[in-house]
Amino acid sequence: MPGAALRLLCGVLLPAAVLRAEPLPRVAFAAGDPRRPLARFSLPNVSDYDALLLRGDEDELYVGARDRLLALAVGGPGPPLATASLPWAPTAEKASECAFKKKSQETECFNFIRVLVALNRTHLYVCGTYAFSPACAYVDLENFTLVASGRGQPFLDGKGQCPFDPQHTHTALLVDGELYAGTMNNFQGNEPIISRSLGGRPALKTDAFLRWLAADAAFVASFSAPGDDKVYFFFEETADEFDFFERLLVPRVARVCKGDVGGEKVLQKKWTTFLKAQLVCAQPGRFPFNVIQHAFALPRRAGRADFYAVFTAQWQAGGSAVCAYSQESVEQVFEGKYKELNKESSRWTVYGGPDMSPRPGSCSVGPSSDKALTFLKDHFLMDGKVLPGRGEPLLVRAGVKYTRIAVDEPRGLAGTAYRVLFLGTADGFLDKAVELPGAPHVVERIQLFPAPEPVKNLLLAPGKGLLYVGYSGGVLQIPLANCSGYRSCAECLLARDPYCAWDGHNRSCRPARLAGAHASGWLQDVETGQPAAACHRGRSGAAPRARGGPDGAAVETLSPPLHAVVRLPCPRRSALAAYAWQQPGEPPGAAAALLPDHTLLVLMRRGAAGAYRCQATENGYTWTVAHYLLREPAGAEEAPGRPAAGHHRSYWPQFVTVTVLLAVTLAAAACVAFGAYHEQLKARRKVRGCGAAPPPGRPEKEPLRAEAPPPPAAAPPARCLQLRDADADDGAERLPA
Ligand SMILES: *[C@@H]1O[C@H](CO)[C@@H](O)[C@H](O)[C@H]1NC(C)=O
Ligand SMILES: *[C@@H]1O[C@H](CO)[C@@H](O)[C@H](O)[C@H]1NC(C)=O
């Protein structure tokens, strides 16, 4: 039995407890939450805003949508504005050819823009699927028009640069005026290709006959660090180097050299430097995350980059991992041993023959010998595997499918560079996580759309502090952070958001980049998030007392009438905190009930007045998130007349009146109409001892049943009689004819 299968079996047997705790987003924002407003751009009758390209100064965003190219003015305070719109739909002839080939006229026979690159200051180069007949064109930025190729053809043939099928993944990269593309090269979608075109040199491609790529290779990203002499491609394909009982997908990285010009006798017009290797992203003893969804390269100094990739698992539903690879670890594998296919046994083994110089596939200057090229024809797969940094995933989330990743590197107060991962999901969420020496910290999660749909593209504009999201219905623009949402020093530090720091002079949480070089009086603690030491040291750290509570929670004073039920919400400012109420009374909380969302219901009695504080304890630090002062009821013993102000208004008098009237009416009606059934009917009535009018606008069935403290017994049952709607309806149905 192969090792991989054994590992899988062990994975099934390992208890879940062995796994590292999964990092939860500290704050989650629902779609439309004003704390994380999204600026939206969309045009009527335009869909699939898949391709995004930002001009160098981050002031103009080019968008490739279905049958249309757009130029948007961005980076200002407002939402993106269209400055130019260029329709580019397939001709009627192409569309009907597409339909004739049994492709859908509703969903497929359009021009989905896939390649969108800046050729030079004046021209873009774009390609689209063009109704299953890929086409490319130049865009003159002066007047935003397509430039015809001039040779009778309206557009250039996009075969080998752009997929035929909008469902197929692809990648394209412009380096030194040449287009490097990874895509499907045919209509059937079984001949993948890595190509180089444009520019002055001869076009190059992978050899289809030698099967350098499996027929299902699917490309997700490509990179070349500035100053590097290589181009990397990230993709997915069926592996045939493993004996495995079923189709096994592996994530791969391939490499070609920029200086490659193809062979002379051997490998004419083909890459002479193509090598590929397996990427590993797995937790020990678990199913590997073997399906790569997307990758991102974060350039480092000296022509190097770190690669970040998001993975899902072939055999495990709902779960994603992020793995990071240094370019050195990738290079090391490409410097290692080659695999070769043993023709007799049809098995892949390690090549054990003599070394050659220069090494086949290396980016050495000077022509390679025919011998080296012949060797390369069937030694393109490396034996070593590329392992992630620290040997394991950076981040693992169950039940989340990441589709896109972008990584930013903001500077913190002390000049430290932090790496912040922006992760888009298949159901329309954006997770923001900061990479830390220990476990990563998920700062926030933002729901992007009201209904689930995949994030198709993410593009950072770090200079403007913005992120663009491409999706089926438009483009979203999101600030990388909203520091003013953290309202106290403690919260600002607990958030551990590298973009934010506490400004002691202004007494507000503000963008860390505003601190400048000196940053005196500013506080930030991304690594540990410990406000205790920092915020209470000296004046600068103290939270604004003027607003009441020591942590910025203003005191809300309420004067509820006697017997009213007061609802005291406790805002969940952090999902990582534990919440507890501090309340007066003998014993404390005797007349209170706690809802699952930590809202406290207090029955207003003598002795229930006083200070109520909801406290959050997070990372060893306790802070007040809500602070209420309930006044001693003023009136006499009997039911008060005046409802309290604000959203804790009591509807007690109205409730009592309505309930009593309803009960009396129904009882009378029941007596008259049902006669003999009276007893039976009464038994069906569910009497709820409540004393609590459900707060207005909330579902009636929810309160008071959920948690341990029983409903206050003090309320006289007579006042609490309440017929359940269902029973009332039920009774009406049975009215005799
Ligand atoms: C940019 O590229 C286009 C297309 O190749 C070419 O016509 C144009 O002259 C170039 N412009 C500059 C400024 O190099
Ligand atoms: C930040 O959040 C606050 C509320 O906490 C909101 O009023 C403000 O509009 C938000 N600002 C931005 C730029 O998102």
Q: Report how far ligand 1's centroid is from the alpha carbon of 120 (Å).
A: 6
- Answer whether residue 696 shows pLDDT above 60: no
* Closest C-alpha to ligand 1, atom 4: 123
Probe residue for ligand 2, chosen from 29, 33, 35 as the CB with the greatest number of ligand atoms within 8 Å: 35
Report whether residue 506 contacts ligand 2, using a CB cutoff of 6 Å. Answer: no
Residue 350, classified by CB atoms within 10 Å of its CB into exposed (0-12), middle (13-18) or buried (19+), is: exposed
Report whether residue 37 contacts ligand 2, using a CB cutoff of 6 Å. Answer: yes
Could you give the angle at the alpha carbon of 103 between the alpha carbons of 99 and 107, nearest 5°?
A: 100
pLDDT value of residue 731: 31
- Edge-to-edge strands, sheet with 249-257: 218-223, 230-238, 249-257, 275-279, 381-386
pLDDT value of residue 716: 32
Residue 628, classified by CB atoms within 10 Å of its CB into exposed (0-12), middle (13-18) or buried (19+), is: buried
pLDDT in tens, 127-149: 999 999 999 999 999 999 998 76
pLDDT value of residue 537: 63
C-alpha to C-alpha distance for 129 and 132, rounded to whole angstroms: 5
Lookup: tokens for 232: 């990397």
* Closest C-alpha to ligand 1, atom 11: 122
Average pLDDT on 247-274 reads: 92
Pocket around ligand 1 at a 6 A CB cut-off: 119-123, 138
Average pLDDT on 488-495 reads: 92
- Answer whether residue 646 shows pLDDT above 70: no
Probe residue for ligand 2, chosen from 480, 484, 509 as the CB with the greatest number of ligand atoms within 8 Å: 484
Q: Report how far ligand 2's centroid is from the alpha carbon of 120 (Å).
A: 38
Among 45-59, 515-529, 616-630, the range scoring the smallest mean pLDDT is: 515-529
Task: Look at residue 430 and give its three-state secondary structure.
Answer: strand
Probe residue for ligand 1, chosen from 117, 121, 122 as the CB with the greatest number of ligand atoms within 8 Å: 122
C-alpha to C-alpha distance for 526 and 273, rounded to whole angstroms: 43
Highest mean pLDDT among 74-83, 424-433, 588-597: 424-433
Tell me how far CA of residue 54 lies from CA of 47, 390, 690, in angstroms: 19, 34, 60
Nearest ligand 2 atom to alpha carbon 35:
2
Q: Report how far ligand 1's centroid is from the alpha carbon of 118 (Å).
A: 11
pLDDT value of residue 21: 66
Kindly identify the ligand whose nearest atom is closest to the C-alpha of 120: 1
67-87 burial, b if ≥16 CB within 10 A, otherwise e?
bbbbbbebbeeebbeeebebe
> Where in 484-529 does DSSP place strands (E)?
500-503, 508-511, 522-523
pLDDT in tens, 400-444: 999 999 999 999 888 889 999 999 999 999 999 999 988 899 999
Report whether residue 77 contacts ligand 2, using a CB cutoff of 6 Å. Answer: no
pLDDT value of residue 50: 95
Probe residue for ligand 1, chosen from 123, 124, 143, 178 as the CB with the greatest number of ligand atoms within 8 Å: 123
Residue 630, classified by CB atoms within 10 Å of its CB into exposed (0-12), middle (13-18) or buried (19+), is: buried
* Closest C-alpha to ligand 2, atom 3: 35
Q: Report how far ligand 1's centroid is from the alpha carbon of 177 (Å).
A: 10
Q: Report how far ligand 2's centroid is from the alpha carbon of 444 (Å).
A: 14
Q: Report how far ligand 2's centroid is from the alpha carbon of 245 (Å).
A: 54
Task: Look at residue 490 and give its three-state secondary structure.
Answer: helix
Report whether residue 571 contacts ligand 2, using a CB cutoff of 6 Å. Answer: no
DSSP string, 310-327: EEE-SSSSSEEEEEEEEH
**How many Cβ atoms from other residues are within 10 Å of residue 220's Cβ?**
23
Lookup: tokens for 37: 């407003």
Question: Could you give the percent of the chain with pLDDT greater than 90?
Answer: 55
Q: Report how far ligand 1's centroid is from the alpha carbon of 167 (Å).
A: 32
pLDDT value of residue 552: 60
Instruction: Give yes or no for a contact between 314 and 291, defined as CB atoms under 8 angstroms apart.
Output: yes
Q: Give Rg (Cα) of the chain.
A: 33
C-alpha to C-alpha distance for 36 and 479, rounded to whole angstroms: 8
Q: Report how far ligand 2's centroid is from the alpha carbon of 33 (Å).
A: 9
pLDDT value of residue 17: 37
**DSSP state for residue 21 in the 8-state scheme:** P
Q: Which residue has the higher pLDDT, 417 or 683?
A: 417
**DSSP state for residue 495 in the 8-state scheme:** H
pTM above 0.75, yes or no: yes
C-alpha to C-alpha distance for 413 and 117, rounded to whole angstroms: 35
Tell me how far CA of residue 499 lies from CA of 31, 215, 408, 465, 613, in angstroms: 22, 44, 10, 9, 30
Using 50, 70 and 90 to split pLDDT, how confident is the model at 289? very high
Task: Find, among 7, 17, 22, 20, the residue nearest to 286 by Cα.
Answer: 7
Kindly identify the ligand whose nearest atom is closest to the C-alpha of 552: 2
Q: Report how far ligand 2's centroid is from the alpha carbon of 475 (Å).
A: 20
Lookup: tokens for 287: 């199913």
pLDDT in tens, 531-557: 887 787 644 434 444 333 445 678 899
735 alpha-carbon distance from chain centroid: 55
pLDDT value of residue 408: 97
Question: Could you give the percent of the chain with pLDDT greater than 70?
Answer: 79
Among 83-92, 435-444, 532-541, 587-596, the range scoring the smallest mean pLDDT is: 532-541
Could you give the angle at the alpha carbon of 267 between the alpha carbons of 262 and 269, nearest 5°?
A: 45
* Closest C-alpha to ligand 2, atom 5: 485
Instruction: Report the DSSP beta bridge partners of residue 319.
Output: 398
Q: Which residue has the higher pLDDT, 585 or 566?
A: 566
pLDDT value of residue 476: 96
Nearest ligand 2 atom to alpha carbon 34:
6
C-alpha to C-alpha distance for 239 and 233, rounded to whole angstroms: 16
Using 50, 70 and 90 to split pLDDT, how confident is the model at 725? very low
Task: Look at residue 232 and give its three-state secondary structure.
Answer: strand
Average pLDDT, the chain: 81
Q: Report how far ligand 1's centroid is from the alpha carbon of 123 (Å).
A: 6
474 alpha-carbon distance from chain centroid: 17
Could you give the angle at the alpha carbon of 658 between the alpha carbons of 653 and 662, nearest 5°?
A: 150
Report whether residue 79 contacts ligand 2, using a CB cutoff of 6 Å. Answer: no
Using 50, 70 and 90 to split pLDDT, how confident is the model at 519? confident
CA end-to-end span of the chain, whole Å? 75
Using 50, 70 and 90 to split pLDDT, how confident is the model at 635? low
Kindly identify the ligand whose nearest atom is closest to the C-alpha of 138: 1
pLDDT value of residue 154: 73
Average pLDDT on 685-693 reads: 35
Report whether residue 35 contacts ligand 2, using a CB cutoff of 6 Å. Answer: yes
Tell me how far CA of residue 92 lies from CA of 96, 131, 363, 573, in angstroms: 6, 10, 46, 55
